[in-house]
Amino acid sequence: MTNRTLQFLGAAYGNSDVTITATIDNVVVYNNTVTVTDEEIPLPEDVGNTVFSTLFSVENSDQFPIEFAGARTMSLTVAGGEGIILTNVLSNYMEQNSNVGNVVTLTPGNATAFCVCYIGTPTNSEGTIDCRSSVVLNGNVQVPNAVPKSQGTWTWVVNNGSTLVCNLNVGLGNVA
């Protein structure tokens, strides 16, 4: 069985260490400090077209074999610094689109190529294509604006001492 690695893109902010504890289906999959930018955490609307790098990874997870498609319950707790910003979640072994000679092909995924982990209408969706659905931040249900529907991934701010809980939706893996 081939397992996938998930990369969580974003950034950590503040002038002290930031520790992230991530659980999926009540199993701790990540618990470590991350690289911190010594600045105040920006508002989601202020990040614009910022390109974020991998904040943390869940490596070779047996919770995400390539045969799995669906949702897992995930929680992220942040301790220290100002907090974190979360953007896209990428996965290896995902189908990739490539444009060769103006023809779009469906190219199987592999271990080193990372693509968005889910495209579609997620489980318990608020109608967006974000892979995180039914998001609860510090016990408060987060409901994206209904009109117009989001066409991309939401930027989530998780401040120091906060916990984000959601359904993490992952599409079927695709390998040659």
Predicted structure pTM score:
0.90
**Which pLDDT score is estimated for 58?**
96
Domain containing residue 48 = 3-170
Question: What's the rounded mean pLDDT across residues 133-161?
Answer: 80
Count of domains for the chain: 1
The answer to whether residue 67 is domain-embedded is yes
The answer to whether residue 176 is domain-embedded is no
The answer to whether residue 110 is domain-embedded is yes
- What integer best gives the mean pLDDT of the chain? 88
The answer to whether residue 8 is domain-embedded is yes
- In the chain, % of residues over pLDDT 70: 86
The answer to whether residue 175 is domain-embedded is no
**Which pLDDT score is estimated for 148?**
56
The answer to whether residue 95 is domain-embedded is yes
The answer to whether residue 27 is domain-embedded is yes
- In the chain, % of residues over pLDDT 90: 60
Strands (E), 41-162: 53-65, 70-79, 83-92, 96-100, 103-107, 114-116, 132-137, 140-141, 156-159
